[in-house]
Structure 1
Amino acid sequence: MGDRTDEETIITAIRKTLTATAVVGAVLAGTAACGTVEQLTAGQQLDAAFEKLGKEKSLSVELDLDTDERSLKALDASSDPEPGDELPDEVAELLSGVKISFTVQSKKPLDVSEEKDYVGMAFKVSAADGDLVEYRIIGDDLYIRTDAEALSETMGFPLPSPDDLPPEADGLKKALSGEWVTLDGKEMEDATAGLGDGEDEPSAEPSLDARTQKKLVKALRSTIAREVEFRTSDGDDGAEHVTATAPFRTLLTELVEEIEPLADKFPPGMELPTADDLKDAPNTKVTADFALNDGELTEVHVDLAKLAENAKVKKLGLKVRFEDGGTVTAPSGATELDVEDLLGGFAGAMMGAEDF
C-alpha cells in the first residue's frame, strides 16, 4: 500500500484508541455504580465513588507504570529472550518513567455516553525528560505534537531530519520539529477515500451501546461479587482506602466467560483473551488499592510484582489517577496542514529515510 493508506491507518488508530479508552472508562464507572457488593460497607463506598465519576461530563485519567529499571530488566530476563533481543538499558530507563494520560469530554454524563456524545478527547505519552507524543481531537479536527528525536531513539531507527525534507513539506518539518500541527478529519477521509483498490467498503464498526453496557455491567458485577474481597482502612496520606483482592487467573477467566457473549459488540481493539491466553497466568492474589478523598476516587494502585513470579522483580505496579478533565481545548499556534501536502511530504520523508 502507499503512504496514503499508512496515514489513514495512523489517523484511524488514533481515533479508535481514544474512543475505546472513553468506553472503558464509562464501563468501569457503570460497573461499580450498579452496586457490586452492596452487602459490604467497603463495596458501597467504592460504588459511590465510581458513581460520582460516572456522573462527570469530563474526566482525566493518568496511568503511571510504578517500577524501576532493575525490575524491568529482571522481568525481561525471566521470559528467556533470544540473544540480542534483551531489553536495552535505554528502553528500560524510558519505560520506568513513562506516564500515559487521557481526557474525555462529553455532552452527557460518562456513564451514559456513547461515541457520538464525545466532543473532546486528548491522549499524551510522557517520559522523565518530557512529552513524547500528544494528540487532541476536537470535533473533526485532529491536533498532533511529537518529540521526533526521542521517538526515534525509542523505536530504534532514525526518522528524517526536518532539514532533509523537500520544500513542499513545510508542515511536516514543523511536525518533526516538535510543533503543534492540525489536520481536518473530514478532509483526510475525503483524501483517502477509494484507496482500497476496488475492495468492498468496510462494514460499520460495532460500538458499545447503552444496552450492551448494562448487560456487561451485570456480568461483571456477578463475577466481582463472587471473587473479590473488599476491605477499608485509613491511609497515612489522610485518604480513606478501599482494597479489593482476588486470585488473578480465576478472576480473569470468569470475567472472560461472563462477557464472551457480548464480545461481538465491542469496538475494535477490545478483543478478549482466549482460554489459552489465560491458562498459564499465575493465580496469585492481586490487590488493588483505591484512595478516596471526601468520597471521591483519586487514585488506584495495583501491585503486580507477585504476578511476575520472579524474586528479582521487586517493584512492578500500576497507578491510575483521576481528576476533573475540564475542557479539551485546541492548542494555540498549531500549523494547519493541507492533507495532500502532508501525504506528499510523508512520501518524500519515507524516500529520504531509505537513504539512512
Structure 2
Amino acid sequence: MEQLSAGKKLDEAFDKLAQEKSISFELDLDTDVRSLKALDAMSDPEPGEEMPDEIADLFSGVKIDVTVQSKKPIEESGEKDYVGMAVKISNKDGDLTEYRVVGDYTYIRSDVNALGKAMGFPVPSVSDLPPEAGGLKKMLDGGWVKINTKEMEKTTAEMGAEPGTEPAPEPTLDAKAQKQLLDALRQTIAREVEFKTADDKDGAEHITATAPFRTLITKFLGEIRPLAKSLPPGFELPTDNDLKDAPNGKVTADFTLKNGELTEVSVDLAKLAENAKVKKLGLVVRMSEGRTPTAPAGATELDVDEILGGFGAAMMDEEAFFEEAA
C-alpha cells in the first residue's frame, strides 16, 4: 500500500508541475574538488590532460537557475510555444554568466575574466578590441548585451554547414513525443522503483525512490525504443550492450512535497562511481514559483559579425604577442 500511495502522490505532484505555464528551479551540483578529481582520474586521462584544480573548483560549487515560460501548459508545449527562458550560472564567488531569451532577442552578461581564469584560457582585454566594438567592450566589462536570436541561430548553422548547402533545421521534439516519453518513464518507475514515505518536522513529506541504476536505464530505454522515430534526427539510443558495463548500484532520490507540490529533489550519485575516493557527488533540484523572464534594461545590441570580428581581432593580437615573446 505504501508503494502505491507514494507513487500516486509523486505522479500527482508531477502532473501539477506539467500543468504550469512557467517553471523555475535551481540545479545544485553537490560535490567537492577531491571527488571530482577522483572521478576524472577514473577516465585515465593522458598526462597533462587531467582536470585542473581551477575547473574542479568551478564545478564543485556551481549552481544553475532556470526559468522556462510557455503559452501553454508545459506538458502540451512544443518548441514554438515557449515565449521566454532565463538561465543563470553562479558559484561561491558570485554570478558567472546569465542569459535570457525574451521576444526576438537573446540577452547575455558574463564575468568574462572569472570564466577565463576558471577555464584556463586567455580573455581579450577591452584595449585589444577595435574602437567600433563598443558593444563587445561592454560585454567584457560585464554589462548586458543583446543579439537577435534568429540571426544568431542562422549564423551558427551556416558556420557548421558545408559551403553552398542550406543549414539543416534544428532537431526538435514535439509535444506528442514529449508526452510519450514521459508516459514511458512513468511506467518504468512504477515497475522498477521502490518507494518509501516519511514526514518532516516542518510539515513537508519526503518520498524516497530507490532503484538499481543500470536496470532502471535499460528498462526505460526498452520502453522508448518503439518511439525512436519520434526522436530528433541524429539522436541514437544506446543499446543494451552499450549499457552492460554501466554501474548497477542502487541510487536513491529524495523528493520533498509540500501541500502536494514538488519543492525539491536530491539524488546521491556517489555509489555509481564505484570508487571510495568519490565521497560526495550529488544533484539537488529546488523548485520555486514560476517567474516571467524579462528583458534587462539598457542592454547594448550586438550583431553576430561584430562578435566574431571583435574576438577574432583580439585573439590574433594575443597570438602575435606570444609569437614575439617566443
Q: TM-score of the superposition, structure 2-length normalised?
A: 0.89
Q: Are 1:251 and 2:194 an aligned pair?
A: no
How far apart in 1 are the matches of 2:60 and 2:154?
A: 41
- Contact 2:75–2:179 (CA under 8 A) maintained in structure 1: no
How is 1:266-277 mapped onto 2 (pairs within 5 angstroms)?
Answer: 266-267=231-232, 272-277=237-242
Instruction: Note the aligned Cα RMSD (angstroms).
Output: 2.4
Q: Pick from 270, 285, 298 the counterpart of residue 305 of structure 1.
A: 270
Which residue type is aligned with residue 76 of structure 2? Answer: V
Unaligned runs of 5+ in 1: 1-36
Deviation (angstroms), 1:243? 0.9
1:83 paired residue number: 47
Q: 3-state SS of the aligned residue for 1:168? A: coil
1:176 paired residue number: 140
The percent identity for this pair of structures is: 68
- Contact 1:62–1:100 (CA under 8 A) maintained in structure 2: yes
- Contact 1:61–1:323 (CA under 8 A) maintained in structure 2: yes
Deviation (angstroms), 1:329? 0.2
Q: 1:55 to 1:176 in 2, by over 3 A?
A: same
Higher helix share: 1
Q: 3-state SS of the aligned residue for 1:333? A: coil
Q: Are 1:318 and 2:278 an aligned pair?
A: no
Q: 3-state SS of the aligned residue for 2:46? A: coil
How is 1:265-304 mapped onto 2 (pairs within 5 angstroms)?
Answer: 265-267=230-232, 272-304=237-269
Deviation (angstroms), 1:125? 1.4
Corresponding residue pairs, total: 320
- Contact 1:206–1:264 (CA under 8 A) maintained in structure 2: no
Q: 3-state SS of the aligned residue for 2:6? A: helix
Q: TM-score of the superposition, structure 1-length normalised?
A: 0.82
Q: 3-state SS of the aligned residue for 1:59? A: strand
- Contact 2:7–2:190 (CA under 8 A) maintained in structure 1: no
Q: 1:184 to 1:132 in 2, by over 3 A?
A: same
- Contact 1:60–1:325 (CA under 8 A) maintained in structure 2: yes
Deviation (angstroms), 1:173? 1.0
How far apart in 2 are the matches of 1:206 and 1:221?
A: 24
Q: 3-state SS of the aligned residue for 1:241? A: strand
Bigger Cα displacement from structure 2, 69-78 vs 128-137 = 69-78
Q: Pick from 23, 32, 35 the counterpart of residue 71 of structure 1.
A: 35
How far apart in 1 are the matches of 2:75 and 2:219?
A: 24
Deviation (angstroms), 1:45? 0.8
How far apart in 1 are the matches of 2:257 and 2:156?
A: 47
Unaligned runs of 5+ in 2: none
Bigger Cα displacement from structure 2, 223-232 vs 282-291 = 223-232
Q: Are 1:111 and 2:75 an aligned pair?
A: yes
2:129 paired residue number: 165
